[in-house]
Amino acid sequence: MLVNASQHAAGQRAQLLLQTLSENDTHCVQFSYFLYSRDGHSPGALRAFVRVNSGPLGSPVWNASGSHGRQWHQVELAVSTFWPNEYQVKTTTPSIHHSLFPALR
């Protein structure tokens, strides 16, 4: 799945919300990101959050900010949960304008 925020209006954010998981284990969440600005402005920050038991998001467990060049970067997050807890991973892209290219896949 690709979340491309470059075609949206300034101030909008794109989100990717994974299904809720409740297995008693550690899971590896893998994704790629592309965070680039062709005009030198900061493209903002990509963030990943873990929501436990449908609670608040809290602080990000991962983030990247600033331009990272015209290439995809890989991320692996280890997320542990123990029964009866459940968790959900949410990623967000920054507020954008026409020359910024944030994306998740």
Cα–Cα distances in angstroms (integers) from residue 88 to residues 8, 52, 57, 69, in the given order: 25, 7, 9, 29
Count of residues in the chain? 105
Q: What share of the chain is helix, strand, coil (3-state, %, to 5)?
A: 0, 50, 50
- Residue 8: predicted pLDDT: 60
Asked whether residue 99 carries a pLDDT value surpassing 50, the answer given is no
- How do 100-104 and 25-37 pair as beta strands? antiparallel
According to CATH, the topology of domain 3-104 is Jelly Rolls (2.60.120)
Domains of the chain, residue spans: 3-104
- Summary mean pLDDT of the chain: 75
Q: How many CA atoms lie within 13 A of 70 on its CB side?
A: 4
pTM of the complete model:
0.72
Share of the chain above pLDDT 90, in %: 0
Average pLDDT over residues 33-55: 79
